[in-house]
Structure 1
Amino acid sequence: MKTESKRQTNISEERDTLWIIDQDHTTIRFFAKHLIISKISGIFKSFEGKVKSVGNDFSTAEIEFKAEVKSLDTGKKERDTHLLSEDFFKASKYPHIHFISTSIRRINSKEFEVEGDITIKDVKKSILMNVHLGGITIDPSGQERAGFSMSAWVNRFDFGLNWNNVMDTGGAIVGEKIDIECDVEIVKRN
C-alpha cells in the first residue's frame, strides 16, 4: 500500500482545477445515540463547498465546506427547534458550520485521509475524515464529475453542544459522539 506523508495544502496558486459541490446530488448526514440503544439521524439541506486540485489529483486538494445550521432536518420539527436553540447550536448567533482541510494523505488510488479544521459555534477543532473516491465520469451534459463517500465523528461536548438529561438508569438521553457521513458529488468548473 502506497502512502504519502501529510503535507499542508495551502498554496492555492498551484491548484488549477476548481470543483463545486452539487447540492442536488450530495447528502450530509449526522447520527447521534438516543437512550444508548438506538441512533437518531439528520441531514443538512443547505450547504456549499469547493475543492481546488491539480487536475484530477485529489491528493493535492484544498477543501472548503459550509453548512447552514438552520437547514438541519431530523424529521421531527420539535427536535429540530430544540437543536437550533440555546441548548445546542444557538443557530441565531452561529448560523454556519465551517470545514477547511489542512492536509491529505493518500492511502491508495481510491482512499484518502483528510485532516481539517471544523468550526461549530465559536469552537474550531481538528478532525480526521476517511474519504473514498467513487470515481470520475462525464455526465450526459458533458460536465466532469467526481463522487466521494466520507465519514468522520466529533464529540459534541467539544463544541459546547452540552445539553443532556440523564435517565434513571444513569445513561444519557443523547450520546456525546456524533457520527458524520457524507455522499458528495462535485462538478469541475475549469
Structure 2
Amino acid sequence: MGIFGRKNTTDSAATTTAPAAVNPELAALTGSYTVDPSHTTLGFVARHAMVTNVKGSFLDFSGTLELDGSDPAKSSASLDVKMDSIDTGNADRDGHLKSADFFKTDEFPTMTFRSTGTQALGGDDYRITGDLSILGVTRPLTIDLEFNGAATDPFGNQRVGFEGKAEILRSEWGLTWNAALETGGVLVSDKIKLNFDISAIKNA
C-alpha cells in the first residue's frame, strides 16, 4: 500500500531533516500487488452506549498496491469496499448500519480509498494519506502503517504484509445518526477506530 510519512522539524527552524532510510527488504519488493481478501481484514471499532466497544469488518472488497520500495513516495494504493458486506456479528445491527440512518447501501453501495501521498517514517513504519469517499462525501484520511515483511507462500505467490490504523469522526462523512442516553451521552461514538491487516500478492 502506498506509504505516507511525517516531516521532522527542529525547534529553532522549520527545516526538514534528511529522508528516513529505506528498508532494504522493502526496496526489493517494487511492483504491482493485488490485495488478498481471504487474508486481509478491514476492521473498525465504535464505542457503544459510552461503556463498551463494538467491533466489525467489511467482508467484500478489492484493492491494488503499487509499491516502489526504493522510493516510497512513488507508491500508491486503491481500495473499493462493498458496504452491504458489513459484519458486526449481529444481523439486526448490520441491517441498521445498511439503512438510511447510516450507510444507505442501496444508494451508496461502495466506499473507496485512493492514496494521494506516501513517504517512509523510518524502520518498518510508514504513513499513507489519501481520499476516503463515503456517502458521496470525499475527505482526507491518514493511515499509519507497519511493514510486516514479505514471503513466498507454498503456492509460489510473493506476498507482502502491512498493519495499519487510523481514526475518523464519522460525522465528517455525514454519518450523524445517534440516540441520547437517559444517563447522559449518546448511543454511538462519533470517533471510529479503523484497523487494517493487509496481505497482498505480487502480480505476475
Give the TM-score normalised by the residue count of structure 1: 0.89
Answering whether residue 19 of structure 2 is matched by residue 4 of structure 1, we say yes
Q: Which of residues 43, 47, 53 is equivalent to 2:57?
A: 43
Counterpart of 1:118 (choices 125, 129, 132) is 132
Counterpart of 2:186? 172
Q: Which has the larger radius of gyration?
A: 2
Tell me, yes or no, if structure 1 residue 60 matches structure 2 residue 74: yes
Find the counterpart in structure 1 of residue 47 from structure 2: 33
Say whether the 8 Å CA contact 2:83–2:98 is kept in structure 1: yes
Alpha-carbon distance in structure 1 between the residues aligned to 2:87 and 2:158: 30
Match of 1:10 in 2: none
Q: Which residue of 2 aligns with 1:24?
A: 38
Q: Distance in 1 between matches of 2:159 and 2:18?
A: 25
In structure 2, list runs of 5 or more residues that go unmatched.
Answer: 1-7, 9-16, 21-29
How far did residue 17 of structure 1 move?
1.8
Distance of aligned partners of 1:143 and 1:58 in 2 relative to their CA distance in 1, 3 Å threshold: farther
Q: Residue 24 and residue 56 in structure 1: after superposition, are their counterparts in 2 closer, same or farther (change >3 A)?
A: farther
Which residue among 99, 124, 141 is the counterpart of 1:85? 99
Alignment root-mean-square deviation, CA: 1.8
Unaligned runs of 5+ in 1: 6-15
2:142 aligns with: 128
Distance in 2 (alpha carbons) for counterparts of 1:108 and 1:122: 35
Whether 2:195 is the aligned partner of 1:143: answer no
**Identical-pair percentage:** 31
Aligned residues: 180
Bigger fraction of residues in strand? 1
Q: Could you say which residue in structure 2 is the equivalent of 1:12?
A: none
Which runs of structure 1 show a deviation greater than 4 angstroms over 4 or more consecutive aligned residues?
Answer: 55-59
- Whole-Å separation in 2 of the counterparts to 1:20 and 1:150: 17
Equivalent residue letter for 1:118: L
